[in-house]
């Protein structure tokens, strides 16, 4: 798409982005409701971690299928289905008193959540020109963090006031009812065309996924997303409040207020990062590498601090870590740049798996390590450092391989998303297998 987006496209985007806002609210609600859930279901740290592991695991497992579904059926239909599942999951959670039903509710929520973000990104790709993609994506994530903000102090107050059942029941009903508005207002393309489902060819679907995965730019996007977003995700989704309350001795209200640093940092950082990489795409990987270097230093400070960590240290540390969300959006820009529009949904789903796989693994490891160490958060959070190191290493491998592909394309005179200059480390890269035309 070329030219400027219309006012109608902006309204469609906003309507769809509100779906993402609701999904983030539901996803992040256990960040402050975790302690209440432990009492309600009479479970310990490892079992509590299973709620997030299940939800995020379902989310991660559904990303590639979601990308394929969005490419095949169109984002409008998928967003409507997402809202219905999100509403159902929260209503089930509202009435759940058993651990098993609570797990089922979070699984249903994870399924609905999984369908949202890729659908919104596919709408952006269809309604906005390429140069605006990163900016509008950053606006989407910033709006999503409004949902994250609502899942901190406001949700804490609601749980302390009306209580668990009324709070989750009302938000579940509101979410399900919003599906009718999305069905009426959202259109898959600026011209209003709706994707028509074709007969499913399993071999073709698997080929589409495999082709997207073989593209070095897609693989690079996967590891960028894996490395940057999982640590702030783990803290805001589940372990932030328990870490601050049980590990650092804070009051629950203070701990939930401190988590808003992640929200405001991401809301401010998202548009800034989006604008920077839209104007200068060559800054994408330097920004990611700079963030990961800083994140390693932050975790070194937090985990080695003698005694209780002061708020004066926690606030700037959380503010920096919050930039992982905006930095992870660079992975989606890479997926869009290196794949044709017909495969963008699938490639975006592949990339989005990365951070949520890392979140799932880390959330589970923290719960298990807390059980093994008798509640030592400092030792349990070492799992974050381990995943950060793994993701950074793999990201660097695929960054170099993507550069090799760009050099080859430049030599053939092809148009490339970013012009690159050969560096000393590029000479040591073994050129990857060529991606067949699709």
SS3 of 376-394:
CHHHHCHHHHHHHHHHHHH
Q: Please state which of the ranges 26-35, 125-134, 194-203 shows the lowest mean pLDDT.
A: 194-203
In a domain, 355, yes or no: yes
Query: Domains in the chain: how many in total?
Result: 1
Q: Are 349 and 335 in contact (CB under 8 A)?
A: no
Q: Over the stretch 386-398, which tens digit does the pLDDT of each residue have?
A: 999 999 999 999 9
Radius of gyration of the chain (CA): 21
Q: The tokens 């230093």 sit on which residue?
A: 297
In a domain, 433, yes or no: no
In a domain, 210, yes or no: yes
User: Quick one: average pLDDT of 80-100?
Assistant: 94
In a domain, 341, yes or no: yes
- For residue 361, give Cα distances in angstroms to 249, 384, 387: 26, 10, 9
In a domain, 436, yes or no: no
In a domain, 174, yes or no: yes
355 or 414, which is more confident? 355
First and final CA of the chain: distance in angstroms?
A: 20
In a domain, 125, yes or no: yes
Q: Are 335 and 344 in contact (CB under 8 A)?
A: yes
If you count DSSP H runs as helices and E runs as strands, how many of each does the chain have, helices first? 19, 0
* pLDDT band with cut points at 50, 70 and 90 for residue 139: confident
Q: The tokens 């699709």 sit on which residue?
A: 438
Q: Please state which of the ranges 40-49, 324-333, 396-405 shows the lowest mean pLDDT.
A: 40-49
Q: Please state which of the ranges 135-139, 298-302, 393-397 shows the lowest mean pLDDT.
A: 135-139
* pLDDT band with cut points at 50, 70 and 90 for residue 435: very low
Helix, strand, coil share of the chain (percent; to 5) = 80, 0, 20
Residue 293 belongs to domain with CATH number: 1.20.1250.20
Query: What pLDDT, on the 0 to 100 scale, is given for residue 193?
Result: 59
Query: What pLDDT, on the 0 to 100 scale, is given for residue 37?
Result: 84
Long-range contacts of 3-9 (CB under 8 A, 24+ apart): 3/129, 4/129, 5/127, 5/128, 5/129, 5/132, 5/136, 5/190, 6/190, 8/190, 9/127, 9/128, 9/190
Residue 34 belongs to what domain range? 7-192+201-428
pLDDT at residue 81 greater than cutoff 90: yes
What torsion do the CA atoms of 382, 383, 385, 387 make, to the nearest 10 degrees? 170
In a domain, 301, yes or no: yes
User: Quick one: average pLDDT of 261-268?
Assistant: 85
Q: What is the pTM of this model?
A: 0.74
Query: What pLDDT, on the 0 to 100 scale, is given for residue 272?
Result: 87
């Amino acid at each position: 798409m070329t030219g400027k987006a219309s006012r109608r496209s902006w309204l469609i985007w906003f309507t769809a982005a509100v779906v993402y806002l609701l999904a983030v609210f539901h996803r992040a609600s256990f960040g402050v409701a975790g302690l209440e859930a432990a009492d309600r279901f009479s479970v310990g740290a490892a079992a509590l971690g299973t709620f997030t592991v299940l939800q995020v695991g379902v989310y991660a497992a559904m990303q590639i299928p979601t990308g394929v579904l969005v490419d095949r059926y169109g984002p409008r239909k998928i967003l409507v289905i997402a809202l219905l599942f999100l509403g159902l999951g929260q209503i089930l959670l509202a009435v759940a008193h058993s651990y098993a039903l609570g797990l089922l509710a979070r699984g249903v929520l994870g399924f609905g959540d999984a369908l949202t973000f890729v659908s919104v990104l596919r709408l952006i790709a269809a309604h906005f020109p390429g140069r605006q993609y990163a900016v509008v994506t950053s606006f989407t994530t910033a709006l999503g963090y409004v949902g994250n903000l609502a899942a901190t102090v406001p949700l804490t107050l609601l749980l302390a006031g009306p209580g668990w059942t009324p709070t989750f029941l009302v938000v579940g009903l509101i979410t399900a009812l919003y599906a009718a508005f999305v069905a009426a207002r959202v259109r898959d393309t600026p011209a209003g065309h709706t994707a028509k489902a074709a007969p499913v060819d399993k071999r073709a679907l698997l080929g589409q996924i495999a082709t997207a995965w073989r593209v070095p730019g897609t693989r690079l996007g996967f590891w960028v997303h894996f490395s940057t977003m999982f640590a702030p995700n783990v803290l805001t989704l589940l372990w932030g409040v328990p870490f601050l309350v049980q590990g650092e001795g804070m009051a629950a209200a203070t701990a939930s207020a401190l988590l808003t640093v992640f929200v405001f940092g991401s809301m401010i950082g998202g548009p800034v990062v989006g604008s920077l990489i839209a104007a200068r795409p060559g800054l994408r990987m330097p920004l990611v590498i700079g963030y990961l270097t800083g994140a390693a230093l932050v975790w070194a400070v937090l985990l080695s601090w003698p005694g209780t960590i002061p708020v004066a240290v926690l606030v700037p540390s959380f503010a920096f870590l919050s930039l992982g969300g905006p930095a992870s959006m660079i992975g989606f820009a890479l997926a869009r740049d290196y794949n044709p529009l017909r495969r963008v949904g699938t490639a975006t789903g592949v990339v989005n798996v990365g951070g949520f796989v890392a979140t799932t693994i880390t959330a589970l490891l923290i719960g298990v390590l807390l059980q093994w160490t008798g509640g030592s958060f400092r030792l349990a959070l070492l799992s974050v450092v381990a995943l950060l190191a793994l993701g950074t290493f793999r990201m660097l491998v695929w960054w170099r391989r993507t550069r090799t592909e760009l050099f080859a394309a430049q030599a053939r005179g092809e148009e490339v998303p970013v012009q690159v200059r050969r560096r000393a480390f590029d000479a040591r890269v073994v050129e990857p297998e060529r991606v067949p035309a699709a």
